[in-house]
């Protein structure tokens, strides 16, 4: 299991277009770069749990907050339900971070990663 794919906010990095673009999908890399107005070579990410310099969103407020608290992801934070940063990300992502964070707390990392890797693999097969 690749622990780097546990998003700091609760998302699964394997679903992220930026992560996917930086791991072999050159057409998607060019598309994402054009959308963001950056060079294709700048579309790189090793996942939210990767070393700080390897994350695409190097100044992510959630990651910086978690680093200050010594936490890996929001599901570990006692203040998750009162956090405005988390609430905004959850709203912007259609509720997935809250659902995924709940799953992560209940299932643990290994089961959570396995489930989301299988789900993403199935979605990718359907797209082909």
pLDDT per residue as tens digits for the range 10-50: 899 989 889 999 998 899 999 999 999 999 999 999 888 88
Q: Measured between alpha carbons, how far is 120 from 85 in angstroms, rounded to an integer?
A: 26
Residues 22 and 43 sit within 8 Å (Cβ to Cβ) = yes
Write down the mean pLDDT value for the chain.
89
- Residue 77: Cβ within 10 Å count: 18
* Local confidence band at 124 (pLDDT 50, 70, 90 cut-offs): low
What pLDDT does 37 receive?
94
Please state, for a pLDDT cut of 90, what percent of the chain lies above it: 63
Token readout for 86 is 């988390």
CA atoms of 61 and 3, how far apart (whole Å): 20
Q: Is the pLDDT of residue 126 over 60?
A: no
- The pLDDT assigned to 75 comes to 94
- Quickly state the pLDDT bin for 125 (edges 50, 70, 90): low
pTM of the model: 0.81
pLDDT over 90 at 73, yes or no: yes
d(CA 9, CA 17): 16
d(CA 65, CA 71): 9
Structure tokens at 50: 């990767």
Q: What's the confidence (pLDDT) of residue 65?
A: 93
Tokens of 43: 């579309």
Percent pLDDT > 70 in the chain is 94
* Cα four-point dihedral sign 118, 2, 75, 62: negative
Residue 13 in 3-state DSSP? Answer: helix
Q: Is the pLDDT of residue 128 over 60?
A: no
């Amino acid at each position: 299991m690749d622990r780097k794919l546990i998003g700091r906010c609760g998302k699964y990095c394997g679903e992220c277009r930026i992560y996917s673009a930086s791991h072999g999908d050159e057409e998607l890399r060019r598309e994402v770069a054009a959308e963001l107005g950056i060079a294709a070579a700048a579309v790189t990410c090793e996942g939210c749990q990767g070393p700080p310099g390897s994350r695409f969103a190097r100044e992510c407020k959630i990651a910086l907050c978690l680093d200050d608290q010594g936490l890996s992801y929001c599901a570990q934070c006692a203040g998750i339900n009162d956090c405005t940063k988390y609430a905004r990300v959850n709203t912007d992502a259609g509720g997935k971070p809250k659902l995924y964070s709940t799953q992560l707390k209940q299932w643990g990392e290994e089961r959570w990663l396995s489930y989301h890797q299988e789900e993403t693999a199935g979605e990718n097969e359907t797209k082909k």
